[in-house]
Amino acid sequence: MQEYWLLFISGFVSSTLFPGGSEVLFVYYLKQAALSGWWLFSVVTIGNTFGAITTFLLGYYIRWGQTKAALKYPYLLIFCKRWGNWALLLSWLPIIGDVLCLFAGWLKLSKTTAFLFMLIGKSTRYFIIMMFII
C-alpha cells in the first residue's frame, strides 16, 4: 500500500511546477511482480492528473508569476490560445505540459473539458510506458 501512496505523490509533484520523475518510480514498481500494473497505472495517472489540475487552478485563480511565464514561454501561450483545451493533450510533456496547464487556467478555459484532456494526455503517456515494460 505504501508503494501506491509514494507513486501517487510522485505523480502529483511531477505534474506541478516542481521537478519530479514519476516515470522512473512507475517503471521500478512495474518491474516488481508483486504489484498490479493496472493499479499502478491508475494511481500514477490520477496523481499526475491532480497535479495538472492544481497547476491549472493556480493559473485560474492566482495571477502571481504568470506574466513572467508568459514572457519566458510566449509561443506556448500563443499555442494554448489558438488550440484551447486541445493543447492540453500535450500536458504530459516535461516542463512544457506544466506551463500549458498554467496558461489554460490563466486563459480561463473550460475546467471540465480541460481536466478531461489532461487526463487523456497523462494516461496516454503512462499507458505507453506500461506497454513497453510489461
How confident is the model at residue 41, as a pLDDT? 95
Stretch among 5-14, 37-46, 59-68, 106-115 having the lowest mean pLDDT = 59-68
58 φ, ψ (degrees, to nearest 5): -60, -45
How confident is the model at residue 62, as a pLDDT? 84
| Interacting residues of 33 by C-beta distance below 8 A, sequence separation 6+ | none
| Mean of the per-residue pLDDT values of the chain | 90
Give me the residue label for grid cell 487556467.
105
The yes-or-no verdict on residue 134 having pLDDT over 90 is: no
Stretch among 62-71, 84-93, 110-119 having the lowest mean pLDDT = 62-71
In this prediction, residue 65 has a pLDDT band, given cuts at 50, 70 and 90, of low
